[in-house]
Amino acid sequence: MKKIIAFIIILGFASSSCEPDDICDPNTPTTPRMLIQFYDISNPSVQKNVTNLKVIGDGMSEGVVFNPSAVDDSKYLTNSNNVLLPLKTDADVVKYQFILNYGNKNPLLVNTDNLEFRYTRENLYVSRACGFKTIFTLDPSNPFTLTDKVPADNLWIQYMIVVQNNITYENETIIKIFF
């Protein structure tokens, strides 16, 4: 009888010291990507879809995935009027190639512009389960540089404006690109 009581007491202490599993809720805001929207240069209040845009980050071999369900190279292409791009959490600068009309059979229609974004980073504690997230602030004096890959080529990006410097959430427009 003493053994049963001792076993129950030990079992009670063992189970009371267990902690629930920490699981990060998928709805918890984490490190945001930068939302860029595209607009028509001839009618600046109207959003415009890009045509077969491929965005390749510095050091990437394939590009940013826009269509994760696609099984071929189309997962790297978008025909939308906006893109979400990740910023580096371990550097204050990120470089991207924006390739318009990627894969077009006529190479004269394919146009690549290079963008470099400069920002500062701040790590914020979210929770024990989720850890930290990084929020970004674009450099107010010089947030981006736009250059053409081929100097003889024309920039397809005509104009850019920063709508908001603080990148805290993914649903806030940060940059508008006019083309």
Q: pLDDT tens across 120-160, in order? A: 999 999 999 999 999 999 999 999 999 876 666 688 999 99
pLDDT at 67: 95
Ranges in the chain, pLDDT < 70:
1-21, 149-153
pLDDT at 152: 60
Q: How far apart are CA 140 and CA 156, in angstroms?
A: 24
CA triple 175-78-30, angle to 5 deg: 55
Q: How far apart are CA 93 and CA 121, in angstroms?
A: 10
Q: pTM score, two decimals?
A: 0.83
Helix (H, G, I), strand (E, B) or coil at 163: coil
pLDDT at 27: 86
In sequence order, what are the residues at sequence separation of 6 or more whose Cβ sits closer than 8 angstroms to the Cβ of residue 166?
135, 136, 137, 138
